[in-house]
Amino acid sequence: MSWQGVLADSITSAAGVEERFPGTAAAIDETARRYPMRINSYYWGLIRKVGGPLWRQAVPSQLELDDKIGVVDPLAEESLSPVANLVHKYPDRVLFLVNNQCAMYCRFCTRKRKVGTRRMPISDAGIEAGLDYIRRTPAVREVLMSGGDPFLMSDERLDWILGELRAIPGVEIIRIGTRTPCVLPMRITVRLTKILRRYHPLYINTHFNHPAEITPQAAQACTRLADAGIPLGCQTVLLRGVNDDPQIIRDLLCGLLKIRVKPYYLFQGDLTRGANHFRTPVAVGLAIMKSLIGHVSGMAIPVFAVDAPGGGGKIPLLPDYKISYGRELIFENYCGRVCSYPDVTGR
Ligand SMILES: *Cc1c(COP(=O)(O)O)cnc(C)c1O
Ligand code: SF4
């Protein structure tokens, strides 16, 4: 089936869920009226059980409506947008939200305030305004296309935006954030990769959260992108009841390397309204990092980071290996053995 067909075959209400999992309809429709729901037939086919790791990512829950702690726009994106849907937070790169649709509406989404709703209008004029801002802001060396999901646009529209960006002399790097290799892998067609490969240097960061998402179809999608010369990264979010476990994260990260995806970030959950029930203690993330570093290939190790509320940006966190730091650095290695390194004084 074409990717458009898989998408058209989505479950968008309690009735569709109830049909396969009787007795689970409560609160789904009410929640979906506030935060959109879409579970396409591919991802639906991966869901094995009620309350499982893929279920929790996809099926609306009453907990979203009950959230009194989360913040509507935790990263202050709206106030950091010089034009609508373009976030300029860091000096040399911008986040350009080019689409409001996704192949699945993740329940934990940081932008659930607007993604998939009328609160995120995207128009040709809006895209032009973003392009104009990039043209007149030469400090921007990198453009990160995100959304929504840029790959939910047609090939032609993507080609148009990529062509416009590539024609801007100051834009050195184009990066695309897309969850389609994970949630709609049939979107990665040969035709799409032929378009993408004309715009190098192009990087793609995708988003897998659980080893069960690494299917033969996902592997094929990533192979196609990698064979088009596109380096692939992954931005995973730590999610309670989904992947907040050292063994699950290890299987995920090592599995990603096997499909040629380099883990890039492991994010602490954002303080998003409607997603607070997914947050895990920071200590859990640090313990997971400690269980990985040194024990598995360094290639599999992402940076564990918190995106600071209020637009502070991504701040990395590492387990503490330092015991004391004077003339000698006294620290412990990954097995807990104490080591020392005589520092150099002066410059
Ligand atoms: C995450 C993000 C970036 C990219 O940050 P990197 O550390 O380069 O991946 C850029 N702009 C905004 C607004 C972001 O949220
Ligand atoms: S694919 Fe990304 S933008 Fe879309 S709902 Fe999921 S997390 Fe949000």
Tens of pLDDT, residue by residue over 54-77, are 999 999 999 999 999 999 999 999
**103 Cβ inside 6 Å of ligand 1:** no
Q: If you average pLDDT over every residue of the chain, what do you get?
A: 97
Q: Is the pLDDT of residue 19 over 90?
A: yes
**Given this model, what pLDDT does residue 3 score?**
98
Say whether pLDDT at 347 is over 80. Answer: no
151 and 295 in a single domain? The answer is yes
Assess whether the C-beta atom of 89 lies below 6 angstroms from ligand 1.
yes
Query: Per the domain annotation, does 18 fall within a domain?
Result: no
Same domain, 312 and 285: yes
Q: Is 136 in the same domain as 261?
A: yes
For residues 329 and 266, membership in a common domain is answered with no
Listed in sequence order, the residues at least 6 apart from 320 whose beta carbon sits closer than 8 Å to its beta carbon are none
| Cα 90 to ligand 1 centre (Å) | 7
Same domain, yes or no: 77 and 215: yes
The pLDDT-based confidence of 319 (bands split at 50, 70, 90) is very high
Q: How far is the centre of ligand 1, averaged over its atoms, from the C-alpha of 314 (Å)?
A: 7
Residue 63 lies in a domain: no
pLDDT above 80 (res 139)? yes
Do 208 and 260 belong to one domain?
Answer: yes
Least-confidence region, from 15-29, 181-195, 266-280, 333-347: 333-347
181 with 110, same domain? yes
Residues 137, 228, single domain; the answer is yes
Residues 345 and 243 in one domain: no
Rounded average pLDDT over 195-222: 98
Look-up: residue for tokens 């976030």? 87
Query: What pTM value is reported for the model?
Result: 0.97
39 lines ligand 1 (CB under 6 A): no
The rounded distance, in Å, linking the Cα atoms of 169 and 189 is: 29
Q: In this predicted model, what pLDDT tens digit does every residue of 93-125 receive, in sequence order? A: 999 999 999 999 999 999 999 999 999 999 999
Q: Indicate if 169 and 78 belong to the same structural domain.
A: yes
Average pLDDT over residues 134-161: 98
Check: CB of residue 325 under 8 Å from CB of residue 89: no
Distance CA 53, CA 107 (A): 12
Closest atom of ligand 1 to 314 CA is: 7
State the residue range of the domain holding 308: 68-316
Question: Which residue's CA is the closest to the ligand 2 atom numbered 6?
Answer: 106
Q: How much is the pLDDT for 220? A: 98
Q: How many CB atoms lie within 10 A of CB 75?
A: 24
The pLDDT value given to residue 111: 98
322-325: strand order across its sheet:
322-325, 328-332, 338-342
Report how far residue 14's alpha carbon sits from residue 19's, in angstroms, rounded to the nearest whole number: 9
Nearest CA to ligand 1 atom 14: 95
The reported pLDDT for the residue numbered 345 is: 83
- Which pLDDT tens digit goes with each residue over 41-53? 999 999 999 999 9
Ligand 2: which of 57, 104, 106 to mutate, judged by most atoms within 8 Å of the beta carbon?
Answer: 106
> Does residue 184 sit within a domain?
yes
Domain contains 52: no
HSE-CB of 37 using CA atoms within 13 angstroms? 23
pLDDT tens digit string along 225-238? 999 999 999 999 99
CA of 333 to the centre of ligand 2 (A): 37
Atom of ligand 2 nearest to the CA of 105: 5
Atom index in ligand 1 nearest the CA of residue 75 equals 15
Distance 95 CA to ligand 1 centre (A): 7
The CATH number of residue 129's host domain is: 3.20.20.70
Residue 149, ligand 2, Cβ within 6 A: yes
Q: In this structure, is residue 215 part of a structural domain?
A: yes
Q: How many domains does the chain have?
A: 2
Q: Are residues 304 and 325 in the same domain?
A: no
User: Does residue 48 lie within any of the structural domains?
Assistant: no
CB of 143 within 6 A of ligand 1: the answer is no
Say if residue 297 is in the same domain as residue 343. Answer: no
